[in-house]
A = this chain, B = another copy of it.
Amino acid sequence: MPRTEEANQRLREAQRAKILDAARKVFARKGWAATMADIAAAAEISQGLAYRYFANKEAIFNEVVKQAVQSGYSRLQRILEMPGTPGERLELLVSRVFENRRERLEFFQLIVQAFQDEATPEDLRDLLRMQSQTFQDVMRQLIVEGQATGEVADGDPDQLVLAVIACLNGLSSLALRLPEKFKNHFPEPRIIMRMLKP
């Protein structure tokens, strides 16, 4: 029986998703050195087939970033809607973000580079800017709510937000520079959380 157009469409989407899944892993491991050949191998397809879905690795990277931002938004939204106190939601947010960063250092490094690179499409940069701003806004909101419940230390909430973000960025770049040291001594999120505790 010949495949219907609908079945073909489903197949194409599944194939595309498989390439993006593979690309995420390969970019996270190899950074920008990843090639189409690496991505195709990880997706267990031929390079020729990969090129039928994406013009080049830049196109794959853009799509991977867009999906990462989307899923970042959903995660933020889910955290905001969780039951529990603001302090508990804040703790969840900070620990998730630090763990996520730790597990995907190379990929984040790639995003930082893409952001600074003039060649990166402006819409992608806008997306990254908004994502970063939203993360800060959500953290700030939880900090203010947590200060009201007494779960978060008093003081200028913006100082607290900046301290956490500085730590996150500082850890990422240090860990990339000193991978051996960080393999064994990457600070646990609860150390960072103490900055926010009364």
User: B166 touching A174 by the CB < 8 A rule?
Assistant: yes
Nearest opposing residue in chain B for A197, CB measure: B194
Q: How large is the interface on A (under 10, 10 to 19, 20 to 34, 35 or more residues)?
A: 20 to 34
Alpha-carbon gap, A155 to B167, bound state (A) = 18
With a cutoff of 8 Å between Cβ atoms, the chain B residues found around residue A73 in the complex are none
Smallest beta-carbon distance A108→chain B, Å? 13
In the complex, A192 has a CB within 8 A of chain B = yes
| Closest B residue, CB atoms, query A171 | B166
- Chain B neighbourhood of A195, CB < 8 A: 191-192, 194-195
Bound-complex Cα distance A135 to B160 (A): 25
Q: A74: shortest Cβ distance to chain B, in Å?
A: 26
Q: How far is the CA of A170 from the CA of B182 in the complex (A)?
A: 16
A148-177 Cβ-contact flags toward B at 8 Å (1 or 0): 000001011011101101111111011000
- By a CB distance below 8 angstroms, the chain B residues around A173 are 169-170, 173
C-alpha gap A163/B195 in the complex (Å): 11
Q: Which chain B residues border A170 with CB–CB below 8 Å?
A: 165-171, 173
Contact B181 A162 (CB under 8 A): yes
Residues of B within 8 A of A153 (CB): 191, 194
Report how far A167 CA is from B171 CA in the complex, Å: 7
- Expressed in whole angstroms, the minimum distance between the Cβ of A152 and any Cβ of chain B is 11
- A119 CB, nearest partner CB in chain B, Å: 20
B residues within 8 A CB of A192?
163, 195
Question: 8 other contacts beyond A153-B191, A162-B171, A162-B187, with CB at 8 A cut-off?
Answer: A153-B194, A155-B188, A159-B185, A160-B187, A160-B191, A166-B166, A194-B194, A194-B197
